A and B are shown apart, each in its own frame.
Chain A
Amino acid sequence: MKNTAKIMLGILIASMVYSCLAPIDVATKNGDAYVNIYGYLTTDTTQHHIRITYSDYFFSAEPPRGIGNALVSISDEDGNVMVLTESPDTAGLYLTDCDAYAIEGKMYTLNVEVDIDNDGIKEHFQAKSDVPYSAKTDSIVLTSGKLPYLPFVKIYGEVPQNQKNYLAIYCSKNNDTVGIFDYLMIVEDWYFDNSNIQGTEFPLFIEDGIEIGDTLHFRVNSFNQEFAHFSMQVRTETSPSNPILSSPPANVISNVKLTDEGKSVNVVGFFSTFSYKTAFRISDTVYPPMMRNDR
């Protein structure tokens, strides 16, 4: 809702200029080196991971270099500590046990110790994140909207009352995977008229259409405010900008801090914790692909 007008303007601009694209060579100098620490812990019981890499020249053609030999742990406010072990296959990838999970309402702290500046002393990085309570999704229904190729998914459920809610909505079909930044939208509390999301509808942008028997997966991630902002910033900075609607570019925020006084190491990335709920529905209706010309 908040960005409705901007989205519409974006569509207008895109419709006017979509075909005028050309490659361009851009040369910049290399910037300062950063340590990138990124990962998350969810309420799902599974193996989670933290990835630690170096930043790189923007126009490098190589994958990021992992940073090994770090001590990585995640602790909760009750003093429980999970120690992560480095993957033998991927440098800089640190794994939890296979049954790790976060508990709603708790605060978690990521601690990373690693010698970045090769002075023989490990630098200490830390990040904290709380786990919001999840939104209940009782059931979902697939409905038709005004456009034949744009179905809506109707969700029944409830939004927690004791917190600020940032709900990231995801949809996928059959075995398609969706990344954490592939959300349909991030919805804030004020969007809803009341706490019960009784029949809240979201447009379902499935580009290649839906056939009878397709399984539609639906997921609602409950982010905390910081991670919601981080997610939106990542999406903004990795998408095209335009002079009419875009703010000046800016670096994405990070919640990872270097805790050693007197040391200077640049750090980026994010440690987050979130809860989520899923639901699925098997389609009994055909929806044509979005881009078909004969509609």
Chain B
Amino acid sequence: MKKIVLPLLCLVLSTPVFPQSARFTMSGTISDAENGEDLIGVNVFVPSLNTGASTNVYGFYSLTLPKGKYEIEVSYLGYETVKMTVDLSENSKRNVRLTTLTKTLQEVVVTGEQQNVNVARAEMSVERLSAKEIKSLPAMMGEVDLIKAIQLLPGVQSVSEGSSSFSVRGGGHDQNLMLLDEATVYSASHLMGFFSVFNNDAVKDVKLYKGDLPAAYGGRLASLVDVRTKDGNSQKFSGVGGIGTISSRLTLEGPIAGDKMTFVLSGRRTYADVFLPLAKEQRVKDAKLYFYDVNAKLNCKVNDNNRLFLAGYFGRDVFASENLSEMDFGNKTLTVRWNHIFSPKVFSNFTLIGSYYDYATEIDMNESIAQDWKSTMRDMGGKADLSYHPDPQNNVKFGYGFMHHAIARGTGGGVGENSIIRRFELPEDYAIDHAVYASNESTLFRKLTLRYGLRFSLFQNLGNDDYSYRYVDYESADSTFREKGKVYNTQWRLEPRVGVNYMFNEKHAIKISYSRSAQYIQLASNSSAGSPVDLWFYASENVKPQISDQFAFGYFRNFYDNMFESSVELYYKNLTNVVDFKERASLFVNSRIDGELRFGKGYAYGAELLLRKNKGALTGWIAYTYSRSFRKIDRVNNDEWYRSPYDRPHSISVMLNYDFQPKWQFSAGWVYATGIPVTYPLGRYQIEGLYVPIYSKRNEYRYPDYHRLDLSATLKLSKPSNRFRHELNFSLYNAYGRKNPWTVYFKQDEENPDRMKGEMMYLFSVVPSITWNFNF
């Protein structure tokens, strides 16, 4: 380990050596001229030096060059390129506003990135989606969904039909870090996973890192989904919305005080419950079943060097049967960010983050068994991220973050004087994590870019005025009283991240990367898809952090002036300290979860092929993924290796959009994947007339292969130049009615009770929907 760490430290901490002739820095922000939104990843290029910079997630760029006069090009796909002459004789600030290409000139583009960025960027295993791209995909029940769009990308698999949980490169669904404006979203599902918590109208940009996370991020092994919401239209009051089959949504944005302050307010609600009173059955009439969510953001430009953001999310699912029971659950997040430019070369972002998830149930059938129940998870913390741009060849990032975690596993019991049920309160669990990181992206030669970084993560368990239990050989050995707030267990890991990009020319490159990640928090669920009542648990004196070492190799090639992008990525992941659960683990209402755990190891490998067409009337992509994932867990499956629930060798996704200007747009998506691994019964024995199964080895069999075709057509009802624009979207989810099993079970044949027959439950047949969308 030392052999790796020391050279890395030297690399990170060494100061690059630059010519000492007079150098000056041009910096600023780049935004959309129409709505003032900062643009991410805009290319600021100096042709005479063949060098440049790109904007960060806040639209900021910094370019340090020798004194002189330069032609500078600012380009971004879908926008008119700005060329300007800059006489750089002192540090200067240049904010640039880009204008979208006029309709007659604009080619249909589905990616928001500049030319050849997929080849040129040092990162690999990264996918980026714009709100526009997501919107172009066929919608399910009229709602386009960010997570459903991510599930179509190479290397990503849905864990079950209709679910918002997903697996990246064979990793568990709790190994994905979901960030909404930097705040962790612990449960990203609405309506049991049919929809995600992300309202596409409020989303500006989504980036998926498949295992190879930037050093600034950590805490999960498989992926990072970094969702950034809109900052708000600084030019005019505007809105976007839609009325769909089961939900409606509205987003309003605009300036508050000139262009210094902007707001975004976005909300949506399903209204299936509005129609329930029309049902024949009384219990259905009395039911409630809906979700709603609200995104709000304030963005304040204090001055050229300081900006403040306040972003919040609040969402809730409610399911209730009148006079009987109610269950509701949801997330709340709050982010306060301060961007400060210390100097033209040093950009900083300070963030305070809060994240909260809870679920609650109430049963009120009868006063003697009236009961309630509540569980919560709460994160509060902050981080400081700084970037230093000494010259165009180096982009140094460093920072520190901490997060305090609290999990209340359950408080509840009988309600009222007449309840015979005992009340209880499980002790809260507390922990705090810290991380320090430094990284640099360095262009050593014009063709070679080196990306290297190191993250130091530290995780501490805090006392809760209760006992912690130490387990030996999975049995409780002793216990120790832990005073509230006192650190009683500390674990740390070094997480190096290295990548090399060699560009043969601007059109093709090879990339290699190595990334180590540690995960200290995991989901207390042994179901394959997860549910809203799942909570998380910490690494502890009994639980080591899970570790992933991922090696990846990729070849990237673009054709025909960036019309086509293609890539091949190969990866291998080695997993240690893999956490799993003993058979029939009791994870619900259990303050001693450590005793239910089993530990082991795993590995995953695969290949991802992507061909994407970015321009022209026909756009889209074809992706093929080969993915294998295996585990070996102590005392599970007779200590033998078995397929992980996420082992799905072959998957294909084909997404096509065709734009019939000026009125119609059509899109189609077809997905195929090898069936989910499953444990089936081989034998049976009879007890009390029931046939009890004797199972195969774990995940020895598979469900039938999964495939589905989605279609959508959008009819534009107004001219693009109109102030109020609207359109109708018609979607067919699962157009040919494929019955993909959600679960398979067996029951005794009614005619011959000695015969077992298989039955599958599937969620969707053909699901048509229509949505009216508008914007102004």
Residues of A within 8 A of B (CB): 1-6, 8-9, 11-13, 15-17, 20-26, 28-34, 36, 38, 51, 53, 55-64, 143, 145-147, 150, 152, 154, 179-181, 190-193, 197-203, 233-234, 236-252, 268-270, 293, 295
C-alpha spacing A10/B282, complex, angstroms? 20
A269 lies within 8 A of B742 (CB): no
C-alpha spacing A152/B363, complex, angstroms? 14
In the complex, which residues of chain A have a beta carbon less than 8 angstroms from the beta carbon of B686? 36, 51, 53, 63-64
C-alpha spacing A250/B588, complex, angstroms? 18
In the complex, which residues of chain B have a beta carbon less than 8 angstroms from the beta carbon of A244? 160, 163, 192-193, 527, 529-531
In the complex, which residues of chain A have a beta carbon less than 8 angstroms from the beta carbon of B3? none
In the complex, which residues of chain A have a beta carbon less than 8 angstroms from the beta carbon of B163? 243-244
Asked if A234 meets B692 with Cβ closer than 8 Å, knowing A29-B682, A250-B583, the reply is yes
Q: Apart from A22-B760, A201-B368, A238-B691, what are 19 other A-B pairs with CB-CB below 8 Å?
A: A5-B327, A5-B533, A8-B363, A23-B757, A24-B760, A28-B682, A33-B683, A57-B683, A58-B682, A145-B365, A146-B323, A192-B421, A193-B420, A241-B743, A244-B193, A244-B531, A247-B527, A251-B694, A295-B281
A58 lies within 8 A of B744 (CB): no
Confirm or deny: B236 has a beta carbon within 8 angstroms of a beta carbon on chain A: no
B365 lies within 8 A of A147 (CB): yes
B693 lies within 8 A of A237 (CB): yes
C-alpha spacing A199/B367, complex, angstroms? 11
C-alpha spacing A158/B200, complex, angstroms? 58
In the complex, which residues of chain A have a beta carbon less than 8 angstroms from the beta carbon of B532? 9
17 contacts between A and B (CB under 8 A): A1-B413, A6-B588, A12-B289, A15-B287, A20-B764, A25-B758, A26-B758, A28-B680, A31-B683, A60-B684, A60-B754, A200-B420, A201-B368, A203-B366, A238-B691, A240-B745, A243-B743
Asked if A5 meets B741 with Cβ closer than 8 Å, knowing A58-B693, A61-B752, the reply is no
Q: Which of B4-12, B539-547, B609-617, B695-703 lies on the face that meets chain A?
A: B695-703
Q: 10 tightest A-B contacts by CB?
A: A31-B682, A36-B685, A240-B745, A250-B583, A243-B529, A31-B683, A243-B160, A61-B755, A24-B760, A26-B758
Confirm or deny: B771 has a beta carbon within 8 angstroms of a beta carbon on chain A: no
In the complex, what's the smallest C-beta–C-beta distance from B359 to chain A, in angstroms? 7
Confirm or deny: B526 has a beta carbon within 8 angstroms of a beta carbon on chain A: yes
B583 lies within 8 A of A247 (CB): yes
B side interface size, CB within 8 A: 93
In the complex, what's the smallest C-beta–C-beta distance from A5 to chain B, in angstroms? 5
A22 lies within 8 A of B762 (CB): yes
Asked if A55 meets B685 with Cβ closer than 8 Å, knowing A3-B588, A12-B319, A24-B759, the reply is yes
In the complex, what's the smallest C-beta–C-beta distance from A170 to chain B, in angstroms? 13
Residue of B324, B692, B741, B763 near A147 (CB, 8 A) is B324
CB closest chain-A residue, reference B419? A193
A243 lies within 8 A of B528 (CB): yes
In the complex, which residues of chain B have a beta carbon less than 8 angstroms from the beta carbon of A22? 739, 759-760, 762
In the complex, what's the smallest C-beta–C-beta distance from A127 to chain B, in angstroms? 14
C-alpha spacing A187/B741, complex, angstroms? 34
A180 lies within 8 A of B742 (CB): no
B759 lies within 8 A of A21 (CB): yes
CB closest chain-A residue, reference B687? A38
In the complex, which residues of chain A have a beta carbon less than 8 angstroms from the beta carbon of B741? 24
CB closest chain-B residue, reference A59? B756
In the complex, which residues of chain B have a beta carbon less than 8 angstroms from the beta carbon of A238? 690-693
In the complex, which residues of chain A have a beta carbon less than 8 angstroms from the beta carbon of B723? none
C-alpha spacing A184/B742, complex, angstroms? 27
Confirm or deny: B19 has a beta carbon within 8 angstroms of a beta carbon on chain A: no
B366 lies within 8 A of A12 (CB): no
A16 lies within 8 A of B692 (CB): no
Confirm or deny: B679 has a beta carbon within 8 angstroms of a beta carbon on chain A: yes
A20 lies within 8 A of B422 (CB): no
Asked if A240 meets B752 with Cβ closer than 8 Å, knowing A181-B690, A295-B281, the reply is no
A21 lies within 8 A of B281 (CB): no
In the complex, which residues of chain A have a beta carbon less than 8 angstroms from the beta carbon of B419? 193
CB closest chain-A residue, reference B757? A23
Instruction: Kindly supply a per-residue 1/0 record for chain B positions 723-756, scoring 1 wherever the CB is within 8 Å of any chain A CB and 0 otherwise.
Output: 0000000000000000101111111000010111
In the complex, which residues of chain B have a beta carbon less than 8 angstroms from the beta carbon of A2? 588-589
C-alpha spacing A6/B701, complex, angstroms? 27
A179 lies within 8 A of B754 (CB): no
B761 lies within 8 A of A242 (CB): yes
CB closest chain-B residue, reference A290? B283
In the complex, what's the smallest C-beta–C-beta distance from A98 to chain B, in angstroms? 21
C-alpha spacing A200/B689, complex, angstroms? 31
A179 lies within 8 A of B758 (CB): no
C-alpha spacing A127/B566, complex, angstroms? 64
Asked if A193 meets B324 with Cβ closer than 8 Å, knowing A36-B686, A58-B683, A234-B687, the reply is no
C-alpha spacing A181/B689, complex, angstroms? 10
C-alpha spacing A55/B685, complex, angstroms? 5
C-alpha spacing A203/B763, complex, angstroms? 30
Confirm or deny: B2 has a beta carbon within 8 angstroms of a beta carbon on chain A: no
In the complex, what's the smallest C-beta–C-beta distance from B731 to chain A, in angstroms? 19
Give the residues from 163 to 205 in chain B that come closer than 8 angstroms, CB to CB, to chain A.
Answer: 163, 192-193
Residue of A150, A242, A247, A293 near B281 (CB, 8 A) is A293
Confirm or deny: B568 has a beta carbon within 8 angstroms of a beta carbon on chain A: no
In the complex, which residues of chain A have a beta carbon less than 8 angstroms from the beta carbon of B692? 234, 237-238, 252, 268
Confirm or deny: B245 has a beta carbon within 8 angstroms of a beta carbon on chain A: no
CB closest chain-A residue, reference B366? A145
A248 lies within 8 A of B694 (CB): no
Confirm or deny: B346 has a beta carbon within 8 angstroms of a beta carbon on chain A: no
Asked if A5 meets B743 with Cβ closer than 8 Å, knowing A34-B694, A57-B683, the reply is no
Give the residues from 665 to 719 in chain B that come closer than 8 angstroms, CB to CB, to chain A.
Answer: 679-696, 698-699, 701, 704
In the complex, which residues of chain A have a beta carbon less than 8 angstroms from the beta carbon of B756? 58-59
In the complex, what's the smallest C-beta–C-beta distance from B399 to chain A, in angstroms? 37
C-alpha spacing A3/B531, complex, angstroms? 13
Interface centre among A2, A5, A63, A146 (most CB of B within 10 A): A5
C-alpha spacing A192/B281, complex, angstroms? 34
In the complex, which residues of chain A have a beta carbon less than 8 angstroms from the beta carbon of B287? 15
In the complex, which residues of chain A have a beta carbon less than 8 angstroms from the beta carbon of B761? 17, 20-21, 240, 242
B368 lies within 8 A of A199 (CB): yes
C-alpha spacing A190/B682, complex, angstroms? 38
A13 lies within 8 A of B192 (CB): yes
C-alpha spacing A156/B761, complex, angstroms? 42
In the complex, which residues of chain B have a beta carbon less than 8 angstroms from the beta carbon of A62? 754
B319 lies within 8 A of A8 (CB): yes
Instruction: Kindly supply a per-residue 1/0 record for chain B positions 279-291, scoring 1 wherever the CB is within 8 Å of any chain A CB and 0 otherwise.
Output: 0111110010100
In the complex, which residues of chain A have a beta carbon less than 8 angstroms from the beta carbon of B284? 15
CB closest chain-A residue, reference B413? A1
C-alpha spacing A20/B740, complex, angstroms? 10
In the complex, what's the smallest C-beta–C-beta distance from A254 to chain B, in angstroms? 10
Give the residues from 244 to 274 in chain B that come closer than 8 angstroms, CB to CB, to chain A.
Answer: none
A61 lies within 8 A of B192 (CB): no
In the complex, which residues of chain B have a beta carbon less than 8 angstroms from the beta carbon of A191? 421-422
Interface centre among B289, B681, B687, B689 (most CB of A within 10 A): B687
Give the residues from 517 to 562 in chain B that come closer than 8 angstroms, CB to CB, to chain A.
Answer: 526-533
A243 lies within 8 A of B281 (CB): no
B327 lies within 8 A of A9 (CB): yes
B742 lies within 8 A of A12 (CB): no
B327 lies within 8 A of A8 (CB): yes
CB closest chain-A residue, reference B689? A179
C-alpha spacing A260/B1, complex, angstroms? 51
C-alpha spacing A113/B65, complex, angstroms? 91
C-alpha spacing A4/B284, complex, angstroms? 20
A248 lies within 8 A of B583 (CB): yes
Confirm or deny: B32 has a beta carbon within 8 angstroms of a beta carbon on chain A: no
Give the residues from 402 to 449 in chain B that come closer than 8 angstroms, CB to CB, to chain A.
Answer: 413-414, 419-422, 424
CB closest chain-B residue, reference A29? B682
CB closest chain-A residue, reference B194? A16
A269 lies within 8 A of B685 (CB): yes
Residue of B365, B420, B745, B760 near A146 (CB, 8 A) is B365
Interface centre among B688, B746, B757 (most CB of A within 10 A): B688
In the complex, what's the smallest C-beta–C-beta distance from A246 to chain B, in angstroms? 6
